[in-house]
């Protein structure tokens, strides 16, 4: 399987989407207009930038109000010279049911291209996957698949995670994850391992710590080498994640946060 720097980042972030009904916080963790920017590095080498953007506009999709959420990634420095990446993952996220109504991704990684749009029909528990031409983006193929009820896509899963009330979980709890990706249901698991105070650009911030549990493969040298820190406040924004990969340690850290709905849990 082809793995770019952003593909690795996506593997970590998007395995965190929940399809089960856990207790949610009473207030939404984000609002329209929220913008987050993270920078990835391998060792001391800057590798990529990833932004998370919630649109200012509420869109109607399938007669449901939705946030349009885009995650954009691009390589930087030497990585941009040898294998440039310009990826866009996006979704229309139902503001009331917290499920995806439409998902899309436009992938440009070196010479590799992949464009697709997924149309969800949660009433029928099905999704229509449309494949688009790698350059013109004209429709080439469409297929329909059965999906679990209220399944998440690879973007909404992360935003649903932020709505979870971690005060209702116990340290060590493992939560099963159901997402639909690459034409199939992809269940994952994530463990809530506790809380830490970590140093960030914004000061010392309280965080909840999660460890995605994935099978060992050629990318990850050991099992359970991924670690994710989310702010331990009502925002639950990503502060940092770290992964031990075959070329060293991949670190991704939050560098910019705008239009947060709630105060960040900075330790005074």
Domains of the chain: residue spans and CATH: 5-258 (2.40.360)
pTM: 0.88
More confident position, 218 or 189: 189
**Going by C-beta distance under 8 Å and a sequence separation of 6 or more, which residues neighbour residue 44?**
none
Among 6-15, 61-70, 172-181, where is mean pLDDT lowest? 6-15
pLDDT at 91 over 80: yes
Q: Is 7 helix (H, G, I), strand (E, B) or coil?
A: helix
Look at residue 20 and give its three-state secondary structure. coil
DSSP-derived 3-state class of residue 226: strand
Least confident of 74-78, 183-187, 196-200, 234-238: 183-187
Pick 251 or 217 by higher pLDDT: 251
Distance between the two ends of the chain, CA-based, in angstroms? 45
pLDDT band of residue 82 (cuts 50, 70, 90) is: confident
**Quick one: average pLDDT of 123-142?**
96
H helices, E strands: number in the chain: 3, 14
Neighbours of 20 (CB within 10 A): 13
- In this prediction, residue 243 carries a pLDDT of 84
Which residue stretches of the chain are H helix? 5-14, 77-82, 156-161
Percent of residues, the chain, with pLDDT higher than 90:
64
What three-state secondary structure class fits 91?
A: strand
CA geometry: angle at 168 spanning 162 and 174, to 5°? Answer: 75
C-alpha closest to that of 89 among 57, 127, 51: 51
């Amino acid at each position: 399987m082809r793995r770019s720097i952003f593909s690795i980042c996506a593997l970590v972030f998007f395995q965190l989407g929940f399809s089960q009904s856990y207790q949610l916080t009473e207030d939404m963790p984000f609002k329209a207009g929220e913008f987050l920017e993270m920078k990835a590095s391998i060792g001391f080498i800057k590798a990529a930038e990833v932004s998370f953007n919630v649109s200012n506009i509420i869109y109607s999709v399938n007669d449901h109000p939705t946030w349009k959420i885009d995650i954009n990634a691009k390589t930087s420095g030497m990585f941009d010279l040898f294998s440039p990446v310009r990826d866009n993952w996006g979704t229309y996220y139902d503001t009331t049911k917290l499920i995806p109504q439409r998902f899309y991704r436009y992938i440009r990684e070196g010479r590799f291209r992949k464009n697709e749009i997924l149309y969800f029909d949660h009433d029928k528990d099905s999704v229509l996957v449309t494949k688009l031409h790698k350059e013109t983006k004209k429709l080439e193929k469409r297929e329909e698949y059965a999906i679990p009820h209220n399944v998440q896509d690879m973007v909404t899963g992360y935003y649903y995670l932020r709505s979870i009330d971690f005060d209702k979980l116990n340290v060590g709890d493992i939560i099963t994850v159901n997402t639909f990706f690459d034409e199939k249901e992809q269940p994952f698991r994530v463990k809530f391992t506790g809380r830490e105070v970590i140093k960030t650009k914004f000061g010392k911030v309280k965080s909840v710590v999660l460890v995605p549990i994935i099978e060992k493969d050629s990318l990850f040298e050991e099992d359970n080498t991924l670690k994710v820190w989310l702010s331990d406040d009502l925002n639950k924004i990503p502060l940092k994640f770290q992964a031990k990969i075959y070329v060293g340690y991949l670190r991704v850290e939050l560098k910019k946060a705008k239009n947060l709905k709630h105060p960040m849990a900075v330790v005074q």
